A and B are shown apart, each in its own frame.
Chain A
């Protein structure tokens, strides 16, 4: 997993609620058997005016000039500001892959869908929940100020705005530790192999029909 500790980044606002994973990365791109390269097709149906298919040359495609990420002032954004229930829908990890591949390191929203939220941590993309009022305030500030940046410190669990106002967020201590260190969760779990085996034996004795 990619390590995350700190990000001082340009913020892009995506002002709609219930952004689903089909919108984040449409299904035709899920046919890929790779983990990388999804950034080009992030928000494909909103970002381009022509219909995207895997393997197309992105430089030949027609950009939608009205889509927020296509505005020059948001180019190079590393922090995505979003509305409630971001990432709802399917379990596709391709959605966090695409966001990360595009360049985002942090997503701030009042709430996230469960599976998406969970998937982000697995790849070192940080989803931050702030209360709806604070998020609303940030939307106003971002839209009003060109070049608006936020500083995110995982260690302090803080998001600091340019004028110095700081918001604090919650994070599970285990997740925080894994992110800060960029730990391989499978490796960590395998350290408990003996426990897993002991559990398995007990489980087999109680419910033998679960084992072939």
Chain B
């Protein structure tokens, strides 16, 4: 009896460095996604050592972090950003790596385009020099972020040296309320186990609430596994997985498709297999979540209040909380619903897929952003998501409500391009990290679901989106 993680590990094991179960092992990598920020030094290292990529057809590259979300025809203004993107283009061209360039309609955030293209398939090991690679685990992949030295290692050898993780099951049973989403499950779990709760573990999300989620929702959940400290998150294959993949450009066709699908259906934890740790969540109890601090674990429900450090006995914890509240400009005991954002960001690899845009549009439809909102923007996860949304008229809904409709990329999730918060500005953001300075130096981030970001945009303060339907 094996867990899904055990199956994925076993089916990629090339070599073990020691006979101890927790020793280092060589694991074969099926899919290597590459972006411009963490790859230049790896390509350089490869070249300096006179090595070549082991398997070109395993690599898919795209520039996403530095790309502008407006005025693309004029190229990238910032010369350092431009150099980084040009370097990726050059490396891919020189080595013959498939890349979606900035003006390709298929361009987008690396974790959005992998699944969208069917370049992420069940049973794969997927790596990228990016911690949110955990996203791809939604397809029953073993998917995790790696550093630049490891990017070079995978380029050169198609393998990675790693240690087997412990396994954690997050079991979410029951039905989510309308307006409560995968993002809320993710934040609630992180609030429960903490940002280090998953350290050393690979998390499998299971239960009836997970099976009821779309692939978009599952990706949101696995995306945030890293925010719980787990390098990998995953969900077993079911009909939803297979339906999503049918007809995608990189997915197998015809007879191969049948054979693949049959294999994929075996990618689930065997009944009776045991996990090192289990966390139970009652879906019906999950409420919309809002973070109030500078770590994703600093989170509460929309009907909650900013906590009071005076109530905390652990000194390190109390200091962290005080520091976070000072940075966030929040007083203890403030009701969450009285917090007023200046900016709204709907985007990122967590929540910029078509379903996310649909749920946000449902809330803003026929409404307008509040007077205190300086900027509300939607940054679709990819060119194809943008196109699909436009086909459905979502761009019109957003524009009429006062939102800006942008070109795809990471954008204000980490503010490497021009999209950023000014110091002291407060943002309702659908991204995944509320660290100090993440969305711009001095910027204050509140993580929420797309529906909750949309609700905050029209109300001018955080509000329970369930009251707006």
Answer yes or no: are A and B bound together in one complex: yes
CB distance from A147 to the nearest CB of B (A): 25
A45 at the interface (CB under 8 A from B): yes
Q: Is the CB of A91 within 8 A of B149?
A: no
Q: Is the CB of B295 within 8 A of A18?
A: yes
Query: Which residues from chain B contact A51 at a C-beta distance below 8 Å?
Result: 441
Q: Is the CB of A17 within 8 A of B416?
A: no
Question: Which of B49, B144, B157, B229 interacts with A113 by CB under 8 Å?
Answer: B229
Bound complex: CA of A190 vs CA of B152, how far in Å?
Answer: 13
* Contacts A/B (CB < 8 Å), 18 sampled: A17-B316, A18-B196, A20-B433, A22-B414, A23-B435, A27-B414, A30-B65, A83-B316, A85-B229, A91-B129, A91-B131, A114-B199, A114-B229, A115-B147, A174-B24, A189-B157, A190-B157, A196-B158
Query: Which residues from chain B contact A119 at a C-beta distance below 8 Å?
Result: 147, 149-150
Q: Is the CB of A22 within 8 A of B435?
A: yes
Q: Is the CB of B436 within 8 A of A45?
A: yes
Q: Is the CB of A114 within 8 A of B231?
A: yes
Residues of chain B touching chain A, judged by Cβ–Cβ distance below 8 Å, are: 14-15, 17-18, 22-24, 26, 28, 30, 37-38, 40-41, 44, 49, 51, 54-55, 57, 65-66, 78, 80-81, 83-84, 87, 121, 123-124, 129-131, 133, 144-150, 152-153, 156-159, 161-163, 195-196, 199-200, 226, 229-231, 251-252, 256-257, 259-260, 263, 295, 297, 316-317, 319-320, 323, 414-416, 433, 435-438, 441
Query: Which residues from chain A contact B22 at a C-beta distance below 8 Å?
Result: 172
Q: Is the CB of A27 within 8 A of B157?
A: no
A26 at the interface (CB under 8 A from B): yes
Bound complex: CA of A84 vs CA of B229, how far in Å?
Answer: 12
Q: Is the CB of A115 within 8 A of B414?
A: no
Q: Is the CB of A20 within 8 A of B15?
A: no
Residues of chain A touching chain B, judged by Cβ–Cβ distance below 8 Å, are: 15-18, 20, 22-23, 26-28, 30-35, 45, 51, 54-55, 83-85, 88-94, 96, 111-115, 118-119, 122-123, 172-175, 185-186, 189-190, 192-193, 195-196, 199-200, 203, 207-212
Other than the given A209-B251, A209-B252, 11 more pairs (CB < 8 A) read A27-B414, A27-B415, A27-B438, A33-B44, A90-B145, A91-B38, A114-B229, A115-B231, A186-B152, A195-B14, A203-B28
Q: Which residue of B lies closest to A96 (CB)?
A: B147
Query: Which residues from chain B contact A112 at a C-beta distance below 8 Å?
Result: 199
Bound complex: CA of A20 vs CA of B124, how far in Å?
Answer: 29
Bound complex: CA of A112 vs CA of B229, how far in Å?
Answer: 10
Q: Which residue of B lies closest to A85 (CB)?
A: B196
Q: Is the CB of A33 within 8 A of B435?
A: no
Q: Which residue of B lies closest to A198 (CB)?
A: B14
Q: Which residue of A lies closest to B130 (CB)?
A: A91
Q: Is the CB of B437 within 8 A of A45?
A: yes
Q: Would you list the 10 A-B pairs with minimal beta carbon distance, nearest first?
A: A209-B252, A122-B149, A93-B147, A212-B57, A119-B147, A91-B145, A33-B40, A85-B196, A93-B148, A91-B131
Q: Which residue of A lies closest to B194 (CB)?
A: A85
Query: Which residues from chain B contact A92 at a C-beta distance below 8 Å?
Result: 37-38, 147
CB distance from B336 to the nearest CB of A (A): 21
Bound complex: CA of A112 vs CA of B200, how far in Å?
Answer: 10
Q: Is the CB of B51 within 8 A of A186?
A: yes
Q: Is the CB of A88 within 8 A of B441?
A: no
Bound complex: CA of A212 vs CA of B65, how far in Å?
Answer: 28
Bound complex: CA of A144 vs CA of B458, how far in Å?
Answer: 53
Q: Is the CB of A88 within 8 A of B196?
A: yes
Bound complex: CA of A211 vs CA of B129, how far in Å?
Answer: 21
Q: Which residue of A lies closest to B148 (CB)?
A: A93
Q: Is the CB of B441 within 8 A of A45?
A: yes
Q: Which residue of B lies closest to A55 (CB)?
A: B80
Query: Which residues from chain B contact A55 at a C-beta distance below 8 Å?
Result: 80
Query: Which residues from chain B contact A209 at a C-beta distance below 8 Å?
Result: 121, 251-252, 256-257, 259-260
- Known contacts A92-B38, A192-B15; is A33 also within 8 Å of B87 by CB? yes
Q: Is the CB of B131 within 8 A of A115?
A: yes
Q: Which residue of A lies closest to B197 (CB)?
A: A85
CB distance from B16 to the nearest CB of A (A): 10
- Known contacts A32-B80, A89-B433, A210-B121; is A115 also within 8 Å of B199 by CB? no
Query: Which residues from chain A contact B437 at a C-beta distance below 8 Å?
Result: 22-23, 26, 45
Bound complex: CA of A175 vs CA of B162, how far in Å?
Answer: 10
Q: Is the CB of B161 within 8 A of A185?
A: yes
Question: Which of B38, B230, B320 interacts with A93 by CB under 8 Å?
Answer: B38
Q: Is the CB of B24 within 8 A of A115?
A: no
CB distance from A187 to the nearest CB of B (A): 8
Query: Which residue, of A15, A17, A45, A90, has the highest number of chain B Cβ atoms within 10 A?
Result: A90
Bound complex: CA of A17 vs CA of B317, how far in Å?
Answer: 8
Question: Which of B145, B161, B416 interacts with A31 by CB under 8 Å?
Answer: B416
Q: Is the CB of B163 within 8 A of A196?
A: no
Q: Which residue of B lies closest to A188 (CB)?
A: B161
Query: Which residues from chain A contact B121 at a C-beta distance below 8 Å?
Result: 209-210
CB distance from B143 to the nearest CB of A (A): 12
CB distance from A83 to the nearest CB of B (A): 6
Bound complex: CA of A205 vs CA of B82, how far in Å?
Answer: 42
Bound complex: CA of A84 vs CA of B80, how far in Å?
Answer: 34
Query: Which residues from chain B contact A83 at a C-beta distance below 8 Å?
Result: 316
Q: Which residue of B lies closest to A20 (CB)?
A: B435
Query: Which residues from chain A contact B55 at a C-beta distance below 8 Å?
Result: 200
